[in-house]
Amino acid sequence: MSDGHIELARAVDSIRVGLRFRRDFGDLDELCESIGRLGLLQPITISPDGTLICGARRYAAVRKLGWKTINVWVRSGISTDLERALAEQHENTMRKPFTPTEAARLYTELKHLYQEDAARRKQITQFASGGKDGEFAGSGNFPGPHGESRVQAARAIGAGSYRTLEHVAGVQRLADDPATPLELRGVAVRELAAMDTEGKVHGHFLTVEAAVATTELGHLAADATESRDVRQEAGRALRHLHAVEKPAELASAAREALARAKAARSKKPPSSPTTPEGRQVPVDVRPYGVRAFVMTISETDYWWLHYDPAEIGAALTPAQWEQFNDWVDQAQAFRDTAASTAKDSA
């Protein structure tokens, strides 16, 4: 026995694996062949209560070989969940790197444990100072927490930034939440698998982000309790988004479209009838950008092919003709001004 360790043989079935962040052990055949030929050169490490700390792949290989007992190191100095999570992380930095989803799950757990640890330290320092928060923080055997839990957790697994890990963790929450709509949940599961296969995150995260926005737009478009303006805005946006392919552009367009649809909720209902006779210039005009303009003309492109001019001409009332003529005149004036600006900038 030395430095809190003792080596002994232990029944394989008596070892409790518990929560492990590495879920893909890779191909165990080569490791099984090596252990079968040479024996277990490095024992696994467990806590006194039989919880596996280090050596999950070796333990899995031994179980696959059908061993009944296994040599173990018993380590008594690792007791808290935070220490066990850090021990697993330390072991894996020396071996096969984590996949993006494994890293995110470990990051999420470490972040939670760091937050709990910081809360415990705060209670201790408050008690030590007689209730005065922070008087002894960072001193003695109870140093105060260093940095934000997200930063600490990211550093612990060797990540340069927590943002990518937060992105993966957010997709994991969607995939794990039974309340997530089935189609959206399928997108999240698919993109998580692609992250692990390719080792890349950003593009797949954007795909999920766009799917979240389009799912919400779909709900707005179909919700009978929403106003007509909201439903129409959401419907127009959905039709336009089908033509956008690049993940970055789709995510950006979906976010903007969702914001416009929600903004339509705040529009005041017209104080006069919506017939041409009661037509009024809007008082509160909300400006839109180029993307919204392009979306509008794309949605109404070739509208004249869908109507019979003779039928429309005979059916419109004088007030409706006045509205239509004004629409044409204003559109022409807008076009002329825009065209002159284009010439000036050319």
Amino acid at 279: R
Alpha helices in the chain (DSSP H): 29-38, 56-65, 81-93, 100-128, 149-156, 163-176, 182-198, 202-222, 228-241, 247-263, 290-299, 309-315, 318-345
Backbone angles phi, psi at 287, to 5 degrees: -75, 145
* pLDDT grade for 184, boundaries at 50, 70 and 90: very high
Q: CB under 8 Å to 175, separation ≥6 — which residues?
A: 185, 188, 189, 192
Two tokens, residue 120: 């415990």
Q: What is the mean pLDDT of the chain?
A: 76
CA-CA distance, 217 to 214, in Å (whole number)?
5
Asked if 142 and 136 touch (Cβ cutoff 8 Å), the reply is yes
N-to-C CA span, the chain: 83
CA-CA distance, 254 to 300, in Å (whole number)?
19
pLDDT for residue 222 is more than 80:
yes
pLDDT tens digit sequence for 24-70: 666 788 888 888 877 776 777 777 778 787 777 888 888 889 998 88
* pLDDT grade for 193, boundaries at 50, 70 and 90: very high
- Residue 45's H or E segment, with its range, is strand 44-46
CA-CA distance, 216 to 234, in Å (whole number)?
9
* pLDDT grade for 81, boundaries at 50, 70 and 90: low
Asked if 189 and 175 touch (Cβ cutoff 8 Å), the reply is yes
CA-CA distance, 126 to 133, in Å (whole number)?
5
pLDDT for residue 143 is more than 50:
no
Distance, C-alpha 16 to centroid of its chain: 32
CA dihedral 236, 186, 181, 108 (to 10 degrees): -110
DSSP calls for 262-280? HHGGGSPPPSS-SSGGG--
% of the chain at pLDDT higher than 90: 12
Which has more pLDDT, 123 or 308? 308
pLDDT for residue 89 is more than 60:
no
Strands 69-75 and 44-46, bridge-based pairing: parallel
pLDDT for the residue numbered 140: 37
- Residue 54's H or E segment, with its range, is strand 52-54
Count Cβ atoms below 10 Å from residue 276 Cβ, excluding itself.
Answer: 16
* pLDDT grade for 22, boundaries at 50, 70 and 90: low
Asked if 50 and 84 touch (Cβ cutoff 8 Å), the reply is no
- pTM exceeds 0.75 for this model: no
Query: Which residues lie across from 74 on neighbouring strands?
Result: 6, 46
pLDDT for the residue numbered 85: 53
Query: Which residues lie across from 81 on neighbouring strands?
Result: none
pLDDT for the residue numbered 17: 75
pLDDT for residue 188 is more than 50:
yes
pLDDT for the residue numbered 208: 93
pLDDT for residue 124 is more than 80:
no
Two tokens, residue 185: 């949940």
Query: Within 13 A of 125's CA, how many CA atoms are on the CB side?
Result: 20
Helix (H, G, I), strand (E, B) or coil at 292: helix
Asked if 174 and 212 touch (Cβ cutoff 8 Å), the reply is yes
Per mean pLDDT, which range of 176-190, 246-260, 265-279, 312-326 is the poorest? 265-279
Per mean pLDDT, which range of 11-15, 251-255, 279-283, 292-296 is the poorest? 279-283
- Report in angstroms the alpha-carbon separations of 92 from 20, 49, 59, 299: 11, 22, 14, 53
